[in-house]
Amino acid sequence: TSGERTILPMVLEPEQHCSRNPPEDTCLHHRLFQKSPIIYNPTTHQFITLPDPTGRSFKNTRGVQLAFDPSKSPCYKVVCVYSSVGLPEHYEIEVYSSETGLWRRSGNPFRSSVTFKKGVFWNGAINWFNSSGDFLCFNVDEEWLRTLAMPPAPNGGEKRMVKYFGESCGHLHLIENYGPPTIHFIVYEMGRNYSGWFVKYVVDLDPVMKAFPESMNRGVGSSDLNYYMFLILTLTRMGNDEESFLLFTLPAKAMRYNLSDKTFEKAFDFEEGRVRREIFPIVPWNDAFPYIESLACV
């Protein structure tokens, strides 16, 4: 049904990256340091290897993102960010179109400090967060770049730790911590026309930690980064907002937390022995991908 998300296991080989394209199951796999990105549909098992841009090497790639909205078009685009040759700390963008089968350079070299490997397609643009400054968005159709402010850090000047950055049902969300790790955090949402961040949810996972005390690492202090052993996988918005939920992992299990009534339940038990406590955490948000079956052609 509309709005439902199912998390399926996907094994990626080392040195491989899959861009987040939340509305669909079509993924872009980029094997770092190798030749070309691959567009892959897990439902149909179809894939296509993208051609090399003229005069370019993927060795200088900083990030590759898929832009695909089937409600508007069966075609897709791929946005590739490169380190600029001859201009230190500058970047360039090339855009691939499935309509033409060609790459095209977009705009001029620019400076930025965002994390290009963790972009999110939302509102017709690729959006990249920034841990120490403004975030950046690139409108795929109109090909303009724009910087916007991240939410202000409380107490000022503290470096933010992004716990989650993603899209669900047309909403862009950001979850971050400041200073010591905590199980109390705010979920921000971006206004539809980039009007600014606002507080959407306030989350307190203390009842969860008390119900599953094995999720607290007693071998370290409570201010240690590894004290609370949980990782957010995804935030899913539903047609009825009272059913929207947060999906996150604890050691050997995945939990579903209702963002409206604050109730929680175990969503999935990982197989015994496959998730060892000593190697937790294993699935950060940028390695979890919502999946919806699709017959979209690649």
Calpha distance 267→283 (Å, rounded) = 15
In a domain, 296, yes or no: no
Structure tokens at 137: 């968005």
Structure tokens at 189: 């949402």
Structure tokens at 51: 């051609």
In a domain, 269, yes or no: yes
Calpha distance 248→283 (Å, rounded) = 9
Residue range 209-225: mean pLDDT, rounded:
83
Contact 26, 294 (CB under 8 A): yes
Contacts of 18 (CB under 8 A, 6+ apart): 10, 12, 27, 28, 29, 30, 287, 289
Give the Cβ contact number of residue 294 at 10 Å.
16
Order of strands, sheet of 46-49, starting from the edge strand that comes earlier in the sequence: 16-18, 27-31, 38-41, 46-49
Residue range 37-53: mean pLDDT, rounded:
86
Residue 16's pLDDT is 42
Choose the weakest-confidence range: 141-145, 244-248, 281-285: 281-285
Q: Greater confidence, 151 or 178?
A: 151
**pLDDT band, residue 3 (cuts 50/70/90):** very low
Q: Is the pLDDT score of 91 beyond 80?
A: yes
In a domain, 200, yes or no: yes
Q: What is the residue range of 271's domain?
A: 6-291
What one-character DSSP code corresponds to residue 242? G
In a domain, 1, yes or no: no
Quote the percentage of the chain above a pLDDT of 70.
77
In a domain, 297, yes or no: no
3-state class (DSSP) for residue 233: strand
Residue range 255-273: mean pLDDT, rounded:
86
Length of the chain measured in residues = 298
Q: Rounded to the nearest 5 degrees, what angle is found at the Cα of 98, between the Cα atoms of 56 and 43?
A: 115
Contact 36, 58 (CB under 8 A): yes
Query: Which residue type sits at 274?
Result: R
Choose the weakest-confidence range: 67-71, 116-120, 222-226, 242-246: 222-226
Residue range 22-50: mean pLDDT, rounded:
70
Calpha distance 284→213 (Å, rounded) = 21
Q: For strand 38-41 and strand 46-49, is the pairing parallel, antiparallel, or unpaired?
A: antiparallel
Residue range 258-275: mean pLDDT, rounded:
80
In a domain, 45, yes or no: yes
Question: Which domain CATH number covers 228?
Answer: 2.120.10.80
CA distances from 296 to 8, 24, 40, 82 (A): 18, 9, 10, 28
Calpha distance 115→286 (Å, rounded) = 12
Count of the separate structural domains present in the chain: 1
In a domain, 73, yes or no: yes
Residue 253's pLDDT is 85
In a domain, 247, yes or no: yes
